[in-house]
């Protein structure tokens, strides 16, 4: 009888472990599916609005503290904006309301809230439609985004830049914000390897919410083991644009700029030959007049540059990097001789 009791106990223990393992696998699978679904939702939002939503950081502590404090209530799923398109904080929770998602999509398989961080730095601000670009890189080719560390199986590390980070704090949930509106404590221990702490918002130091805050350790992703169970999901700027192209919602901003430059060019030439009040002898518009001819703000939110030489003129867009005199500038121009020749064919004498 005793032997039977022992065997029954062993089998029960094995059954509980198996059941627990199956539950963990299910929670992990649900978490990964939600992260993929959130990626699609963010890309769809970006395609429709040309910006990404700021995190939900309600309720906030006093603005003088510069810290997130969820102790006063639960998230409402709405982006929190400081001014214009500047996020109140760059780290927070999924703004499920803005994404037209149900509240449960903001929570992982263990029912804790995902941590969500979106690039809101300058340049390459992904939360401002006036700064949207179909080339999310600087003029030197550096991708916009936060530093990110991938820990490989051999413990070597690979660094990269990512635009969006969605973190599940795993089975232990340490540092995650929970359904009660508070943060699961204690925070991950600061001792080695400390990877989980790198992925955690720490109200004491207010890190991971602003480029001007104390520089935090980059987010980390590695294989799950006894000391690390975070499920870290990232989206690069190039992945965002690839998603927009897949959905056929990415605006070809360079083509838009080229079309705009042609329209501006025609408007300048039209002003030159058809306005005898200002152009008795074929005069180009002044800089002030140029700005009133037609739209002179390019698709990247920059004012077109206008220069003249004799009767000739050049109109230039700074291009995707929004920086003058770089390789991606776009321009149109008429030389002095071209303008005089075209005007002469229309019976207008430029002198």
Residue 64: per-residue pLDDT: 40
Judge contact between 181 and 71, C-beta under 8 A: yes
Closest CA to 76 of 49, 61, 98: 98
Judge contact between 47 and 249, C-beta under 8 A: yes
Residue 319 maps to which CATH number?
3.30.700
Strands 157-162, 146-151: pairing is antiparallel
Residue 217: per-residue pLDDT: 66
| pLDDT tens per residue, range 96-109 | 999 999 999 999 99
Strands 86-87, 91-92: pairing is unpaired
* Residue 86: inside a domain: yes
Task: Please tell me whether residues 202 and 228 are part of one structural domain.
Answer: yes
Task: Please tell me whether residues 331 and 185 are part of one structural domain.
Answer: no
Distances (CA, A) of 233 to 9, 167, 263, 269: 40, 6, 44, 52
Mean pLDDT of 317-343: 86
Distances (CA, A) of 309 to 203, 270, 296, 335: 59, 17, 20, 8
* Residue 11: inside a domain: no
| This prediction's pTM | 0.71
Residue 138: per-residue pLDDT: 53
Question: Is the confidence at residue 28, as pLDDT, over 80?
Answer: yes
Q: Which of 212, 246, 280 is the last residue of a domain?
A: 246
Instruction: Look at residue 166 and give its three-state secondary structure.
Output: strand
Mean pLDDT of 87-92: 79
* Residue 56: inside a domain: yes
Task: Please state, as a whole number, how many other Cβ atoms lie within 10 Å of the Cβ of residue 225.
Answer: 8
Overall number of domains in the chain: 2
Task: Please tell me whether residues 280 and 297 are part of one structural domain.
Answer: yes
* Residue 34: inside a domain: yes
How many residues are given for the chain?
A: 351
293: containing domain: 253-345
Q: Which of 211, 246, 281 is the last residue of a domain?
A: 246
Residue 61: per-residue pLDDT: 46
Task: Please tell me whether residues 35 and 66 are part of one structural domain.
Answer: yes
Residue 87: per-residue pLDDT: 80
């Amino acid at each position: 009888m005793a032997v039977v009791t022992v065997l029954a106990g062993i089998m029960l223990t094995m059954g509980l472990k198996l059941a627990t393992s199956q539950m963990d696998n299910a929670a992990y699978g649900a978490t990964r599916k939600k992260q993929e679904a959130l990626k699609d939702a963010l890309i769809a939002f970006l395609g429709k609005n040309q910006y990404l939503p700021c995190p939900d950081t309600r309720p906030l502590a006093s603005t003088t503290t510069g810290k997130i404090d969820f102790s006063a209530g639960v998230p409402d799923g709405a982006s929190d904006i400081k001014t214009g398109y500047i996020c109140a904080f760059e780290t927070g929770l999924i703004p499920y309301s803005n994404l037209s998602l149900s509240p449960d999509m903001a929570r992982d398989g263990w029912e804790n809230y995902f941590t969500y961080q979106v690039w809101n730095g300058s340049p390459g601000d992904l939360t401002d439609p006036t700064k949207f670009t179909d080339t999310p890189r600087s003029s030197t080719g550096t991708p916009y985004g936060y530093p990110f560390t991938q820990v490989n199986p051999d413990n070597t590390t690979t660094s990269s830049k990512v635009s969006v980070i969605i973190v599940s704090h795993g089975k232990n949930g340490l540092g995650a914000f929970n359904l009660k509106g508070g943060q699961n404590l204690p925070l991950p221990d600061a001792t080695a390897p400390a990877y989980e702490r790198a992925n955690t918002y720490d109200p004491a130091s207010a890190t991971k919410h602003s480029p001007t805050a104390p520089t935090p350790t980059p987010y980390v992703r590695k294989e799950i083991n006894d000391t690390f169970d975070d499920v870290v999901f990232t989206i690069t700027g190039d992945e965002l644009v690839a998603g927009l192209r897949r959905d056929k919602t990415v605006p070809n901003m360079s083509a838009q700029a080229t079309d705009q430059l042609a329209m501006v060019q025609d408007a300048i030439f039209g002003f030159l030959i058809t306005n005898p009040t200002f152009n008795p002898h074929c005069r180009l518009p002044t800089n002030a007049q140029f700005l009133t001819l037609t739209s002179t703000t390019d698709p990247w939110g920059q004012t077109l540059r206008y220069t003249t030489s004799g009767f000739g003129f050049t109109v230039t867009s700074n291009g995707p990097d929004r920086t003058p005199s770089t390789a991606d500038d776009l321009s149109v121009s008429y030389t002095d001789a071209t303008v005089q020749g075209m005007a002469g064919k229309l019976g207008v004498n430029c002198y």
